[in-house]
Copies of this chain bind each other. A is one copy, B any other.
Amino acid sequence: MNKIELLETFLSISIDHNEVLQNPSRYTLIDIRNAPKEIKKDKIKDSLEIPMKTLADKLQTLDKSKTYVVYDWNAGTTLGKKAVLLLLQNDFDAFELSCAIEGWKGMNLPLETVNN
């Protein structure tokens, strides 16, 4: 296996927050964290809340003309990649937010409270 080819493919699955912020009409963020709302407390502004454990059942509510960008707590977990895989397998255009909500908060980007 070729290192460059592996890196190109691995990186093609993720997207930077700058790219997302520059094209708000193109990208729809999805918070796929499975934690209860009281642990999550806040989420990225205007993102959908679809916990990964419910995503397979919610696919029919999504729009194939949009590009979905999923995020978990941080960039090292596998949950975002599981969500991207499920979306790609079902012919959706999807990426993982490259620094997850941790990086978004670190850059002081807009959040909103998770409603009960």
Contacts and interface: CB of A to CB of B under 8 A. Distances in A.
Contacts of A25: none
A43 B104 CA distance: 21
B9 A3 contact: yes
A57 to B, nearest CB: 17
Nearest to A9: B1
A1 B11 contact: no
Contact of A89 (B4, B13, B85, B88): B4
B78 A76 contact: no
B9 A88 contact: no
B75 A11 contact: no
A70 to B, nearest CB: 12
Interface string A48-60: 0000000000000
Contacts of A6: 1, 6, 9-10, 13
11 contacts: A1-B5, A4-B89, A6-B13, A7-B88, A8-B85, A11-B81, A11-B85, A14-B78, A74-B75, A75-B78, A78-B98
